[in-house]
Amino acid sequence: MPFTPFHLGPAILMYSLLRGRFELIVTILSNIIIDVEPFLVILLRLNMPLHGPIHSFLGATLLAVLTSGLANYLLPYLYRFIRMKYTYRYSQLLVASLTGTYCHILLDAPLYSEMKPFYPLSGNPFLYTIEPGYIYGGCIFSFLVGFAVWGIWKLKQHI
């Protein structure tokens, strides 16, 4: 997907439907960090595919472990700073990070021929299985529905 914000819709919808049972910051961060790969390829004019090894389930798993480990260390400080109670275990952070990275792979794989989701194996069995318009529309729709569900959930907490 050309813009990472499209990837955030499904994460926000899942978070809203699950009533905050996983850490949204980690899921969003994982969704964004994975796109550092194509950004660097463009910025540094690297001679490699835009969606390389990090845009695979293996790369996404390694990135999720790294991201959740870093979050496990840093989030307690962030929560203390914003005066919120921190209650997450590492396993919850790992699930949140895996959700973000795997969702990203599954959204990108039908769109990009250079992706190898099962790297080091070649090929992309997801390629062209879903029309791009459906993917983009689904992301926008899930963002709007997720945000609405989240708003209703928060309103009910204060009533």
pLDDT tens readout for residues 93-108: 999 999 999 999 999 9
Q: Is 158 inside any structural domain?
A: no
* pLDDT of 44 higher than 80: yes
Q: Is 146 inside any structural domain?
A: yes
Domain extent for 29: 5-151
Contacts of 71 (CB under 8 A, 6+ apart): 23, 25, 26, 29, 93, 97
Q: Is 27 inside any structural domain?
A: yes
Instruction: Return the pLDDT at 6.
Output: 84
Question: Whole-model pTM?
Answer: 0.89
Instruction: Return the pLDDT at 156.
Output: 86
Across the range 114-123, mean pLDDT stands at: 96
Q: How many domains does the chain have?
A: 1
Contacts of 109 (CB under 8 A, 6+ apart): 115, 117, 124, 126, 127
* pLDDT of 140 higher than 80: yes
Residue 36 half-sphere exposure, CB side, CA atoms within 13 Å?
10
- Model confidence band, residue 18 (pLDDT cutoffs 50, 70, 90): confident
